Amino acid sequence: MSQAAYVNPSLLTWSRERAGLSTEQVAKKLPVKPDRVQEWEAGETRPTFLQAQKWASVAHIPFGFLFLQHPPVEKLPLPDLRTVGGIAPQRPTLELLDTVREAIRKQDWYLEYLQHQEYQPLAFVGRFSSRSQVAEVVDDIRRVLGVNPDIGRLDYEKYSRALIEAAETAGILVMRSGTALGNTHRKLEVSEFRGFAISNAYAPVVFINSSDAPTARLFTLLHELAHIWIGSSGVSDGNSENGREEEHFCNAVAGEFLAPEVQFRALWNADVDWQDNLAPIATRFHISKLAIGRRALDLGYISQAQYSAYYRMILKAFQDEKGGAGDYYRNATAKNSSRLSKAVLTEAMSGRMLLREAGHLLGVQPAKLRTLASKITE
């Protein structure tokens, strides 16, 4: 008979609720009857060591946590700039916590890597503040990125890719994913956050929640880049109502970058339905109709209710699409940022880093690293 694990029953309940799992869901995954799970949480009986280890895996916590006297106090390691009805959410989900921690872990590795590369600090990080002129920040971002959609005749998708590539070239790690730790069963909810920024003079990080509608992600990218330019870290939800000063400022920078106010007002036709303005203005600025709707909201042409209803329609259409998982290697590069990926692969292919360690850092099977290296340099 297997030895009982003297876990703390209250930690079982805490870890299950923390992971957003019901008694029945945990029971199915172990697998045991729901009554047995309830007995363990009540302290009436105890799981075996094997069952306790499986519980920890299911709840996404270290096994040792189950033996603590009290649940650990968990906080976002970044400022929480999100608002729901003007109030910051009480507790971040496990998915958000793990995603932020993973990004910080990758940033830490990259900072150590840079110590051997004689890199200089990035002059644009923290060059401005939230009290600066929006136009000045926008001009500086344009200058650093150097992407002109008019000259390049870029459509929306090419414009988005060009901006991401330019940000990476400038030294910013741009990470994009819709799941926590690459686990497709752990979706990142757009209702919780749309992105975050980790400001650092040498290795700033921008993360974009890919669960959001593709047409909404460009605004998030510019919003988070604005955070880097004012030297501000934080988790954002893009809320324009009752948001904090920093968020209002970054929204203003993103909006002005994508659709300058003077030109936007000159193009807006108040004599037609507001949605009839979206397509022609979107074409003019090389961005999506949704981004134009967002700009119209910020400039007072439409109400929050009108924009929210339109955004929900776009998001639902995206979520209802029955697309495949996409290209494995392209997804891996987006998740880790191309800049970080190239650095890790350079170390691994040169033998200065074990393939196992590189695979763990990138969340890629070690056997696929050489193929990823060949594709990322194409």
Q: What is the structure's pLDDT at 198?
A: 97
Q: What is the structure's pLDDT at 39?
A: 92
Distance in angstroms (rounded) separating the CA atoms of residues 102 and 72: 19
Buried b (16+ CB within 10 A) or exposed e, 180-201: beeeeebebebebbbbbbbbbe
Q: What is the structure's pLDDT at 195?
A: 95
Q: Which CATH number fits domain 9-67: 1.10.260.40, 3.40.50.12780, 3.40.50.970, 1.10.10.10?
A: 1.10.260.40
Distance in angstroms (rounded) separating the CA atoms of residues 184 and 326: 12
DSSP, res 60: T
Residue 309 has pLDDT above 90, yes or no: yes
Q: How confident is the model at residue 75 (pLDDT cuts 50, 70, 90)?
A: confident
Q: What is the structure's pLDDT at 293?
A: 96
pLDDT in tens, 315-369: 999 988 866 667 889 999 999 999 999 999 999 999 999 999 999 999 999 999 9
Stretch 109-127: mean pLDDT: 93
pLDDT in tens, 26-46: 999 999 999 999 999 999 999
The pTM of the full predicted model, rounded to 2 decimals, is 0.87
Residue 242 has pLDDT above 70, yes or no: no
Q: How confident is the model at residue 206 (pLDDT cuts 50, 70, 90)?
A: very high
Q: How confident is the model at residue 151 (pLDDT cuts 50, 70, 90)?
A: confident
Half-sphere exposure of 84 (CA within 13 A, CB side): 10
Give the rounded percent of residues in the chain with a pLDDT score beyond 70: 94
pLDDT in tens, 219-230: 999 999 999 999
Q: Among all chains, which residue has been given the structure tokens 């344009």?
A: 142
Stretch 283-308: mean pLDDT: 95
Q: What is the structure's pLDDT at 185?
A: 82
Q: How confident is the model at residue 23 (pLDDT cuts 50, 70, 90)?
A: very high
What is the torsional sign of CA 249, 250, 255, 258? positive
What is the torsional sign of CA 215, 217, 220, 224? negative
